[in-house]
Amino acid sequence: MTPDDMIQRYAQAVASRLPHAMRADVRAELYALLHEDIQAVSTNGAPTLKLVEDRLIAFGPPQEVALRYHRPAPIIEDVDTPLFSKLALGFVLGLTVLALSIGLSSPKPLSAQLEERLKDASFMVLGVLLVCFWALGALRRAQPKLFAWKPAKLPAVRDPDLISRPLALSAVLAGSSGLLILMNPIAFFDLLLDGQIPSMLAYAFTYDHQFLSERAPLLWGMLTVSLLILALAMLEGRWRPMSRNLALGLSLVIALISFWVVLAGPIFVAATTDQAMKFWVALIAGITCIDVWLKWRDQRRAGDPSYLKPR
Amino acid sequence: MVTEDAFPKFEVDLRRGVIVLATLSQLGTAQYGYSLRQRLAQSGLEVEEGTLYPLLRRLEGQGLLTSEWRIEHGPPRRFYVLSDQGRTLYPQLVNSWRNLSAVMENLFKEGLPNDA
C-alpha cells in the first residue's frame, strides 16, 4: 500500500459513514486536504507510510470523524432515555415474574412451552418499545410545537409519606374482605348462592389439609399483621420511618412465604384450582418482591430528605 | 473530583465556541481548509485538522458559509466564504464575545487569584 492509497482509504472510510448526498464531496475534499497537509509536513517531498499513518491517527478514527461531519438523529433521544430504561426494565421484570409464576404453577411441558413464548414476547415488546421511542423522537424533531413545555402541566409535588385516608380505608376494607374470602371461600360462595353451593364448586375450593394446618396460618397471619399496620398508618395519616420499614419488611416476608406456599405442596385439593391459585400467588409474590426492591432503592437514594418534609 | 486529565476536557469545551468565531473571522475572503488552518495557527490559534475540516461543513450546513470547488495554483480545493447570513451574524457574535470577555475579566478580577 502506498501513502496515497492509505489517504484514499481513510477518506473513503470516513465518507462511507455519511449520508449518500455528501459522500463523494467529503471524500474528495478530505482527500485533498489530507494530501496537502501531509505534503506540507513531509521533509523531503515524498511522505512515508509511517508519517501518513501518524497523521491519520492524529486526525481520528473514521467513525469519530464521520460523526464530526454529520451527527445522525439518535434512535432514542437523551430526554427519553430514562423513561425508555424504566419501561424496558419494567417489561423485562414483569415478563420474568410471569415466566417464574407459570414455571412454579403449571405442569412441566406446558410451562416450558409458555416460558419459550414469553422469551419471544420479551424481545418483541422491547422491539416495539424501541420503534415507539424512535417514532416519538422523529415526531418531536418534526413538530417541536406539539411538545411545547408548559409549567402548568407539571405534576403536583406529592409528599410520599402522606396517606390518603379514603384510599387507605378502601385498601384496608378490600384487603380484609379478600382475606376473609381467602380463609373460607366455600362459606363465601355459600353466602353468595344463598346456601345452594354446587358440590363441584365446593370441591374446587376445598383447601388441602396440610396447607390448612401448616402454611395457611403463617400466610394469613402475616397478611393480617400487614393490614393492621396499614390501618394504624391510616389513623396517623402518614407513614413514619418505622411504620414504612415495618410494612416494607413485612411485604418481603409475605412474598417469601408465598413462594414457600407455592413450592411446598398443593394449596387446593382440585388440581385446576390449585394450579390457578399457585400462578396468582407466585405472580403477586414476584411483583411484591420488585415493588419492595424499588421502594427500598428509592428510600436509600432519598437519604434523609428532612428539608422536604412539612414542618 | 478533579482528575489529572480534567484540564484538556474543560479546555475543549471552552475552545469549542471560540473556534467557530475564529473561523468566521477569517472567512471574509475565501479560504480552503488547509490555508485557513495555517492562518489561524499564524495568529496563535492551533486547531486540529480533524476538528476544523468537519466544522467548515457544519457551518455551511447551517447556512453561515458557502463553498465551491476551485483550481488555483495546484489541485482542486474547496473554498469557503461567509454567506450573507454569516455576514449578518458575525458582527453580532463579535459583539457578544466582547461583552462576555469584559464580564469575564471583571469576574476574574473580583474572584479567586488565577495566576497559572
Grid cell 469545551 is found at: B13
Residue numbers of chain A with a pLDDT score lower than 70: 303-311
| Contact list, B37 vs chain A (CB under 8 Å) | 37
- Tell me if B42 is assigned to some domain: yes
- Tell me if B59 is assigned to some domain: yes
A237 in Cβ contact with A162 (< 8 Å): yes
* Same-domain pairing of A178 and A252: yes
- Tell me if B115 is assigned to some domain: no
Sign, CA dihedral A138-A142-A147-A148, equals positive
Cα gap B65→B84, rounded to integer Å: 8
Radius of gyration, CA atoms only, chain A: 32
- Tell me if B85 is assigned to some domain: yes
Interface contact B76-A28, CB threshold 8 A: yes
- Tell me if B1 is assigned to some domain: no
* Same-domain pairing of A124 and A198: no
Nearest C-alpha in B relative to A57: B50
Domain boundary pick from A112, A147, A182: A147
* Same-domain pairing of A55 and A124: no
SS3 B3: coil
Q: Where residue B23 sits, what CATH number does that domain have? A: 1.10.10.10
Cell of A156: 403536583
Predicted pLDDT of residue A303: 61
Domain boundary pick from A36, A52, A69: A69
* Same-domain pairing of A182 and A226: yes
- Tell me if A159 is assigned to some domain: no
SS3 B69: strand
Task: State how far the alpha carbon of A60 is from the alpha carbons of A64, A156, B48, B115, in Å.
Answer: 7, 48, 10, 33
- Tell me if B32 is assigned to some domain: yes
- Tell me if B102 is assigned to some domain: yes
Nearest C-alpha in B relative to A31: B77
Predicted pLDDT of residue B3: 62
Write out pLDDT tens, residues A111-157: 777 777 777 888 888 999 999 999 999 999 999 888 888 888 888 88
Predicted pLDDT of residue A311: 40
Interface contact B53-A33, CB threshold 8 A: yes
**What's the number of CA atoms in the CB half-sphere (13 Å) around residue A278?**
30
Q: Which domain holds residue B53?
A: 6-110
| Contact list, A69 vs chain B (CB under 8 Å) | 54, 57-58
* Same-domain pairing of A103 and A219: no
Predicted pLDDT of residue A223: 94
* Same-domain pairing of A174 and A263: yes
pLDDT string in tens for chain B (116-residue length): 556 678 888 888 888 889 999 999 999 999 999 999 999 999 999 998 888 999 999 999 999 999 999 887 778 899 999 999 999 999 999 999 999 999 999 998 887 777 66
| Contact list, A68 vs chain B (CB under 8 Å) | 50-51, 54-55, 58
pLDDT more than 90, % of chain A: 51
* Same-domain pairing of A262 and A185: yes
* Same-domain pairing of A183 and A237: yes
* Same-domain pairing of A112 and A9: no
Question: Chain A to chain B, count of Cβ pairs less than 8 Å apart?
Answer: 46
Stated as kind and residue range, the H or E segment containing B65 is strand B65-71
Domain boundary pick from A44, A69, A94: A69
Q: Which domain holds residue A183?
A: 165-303
Compute the nearest-CA separation of B100 from chain A (Å): 27
Q: What value does the mean pLDDT of chain A take?
A: 88
Interface contact B57-A36, CB threshold 8 A: no
* Same-domain pairing of A210 and A172: yes
As for how many domains chain B has, the answer is 1
As for how many domains chain A has, the answer is 3
B80 in Cβ contact with B56 (< 8 Å): yes
* Same-domain pairing of A173 and A260: yes
- Tell me if A173 is assigned to some domain: yes
Predicted pLDDT of residue A180: 94
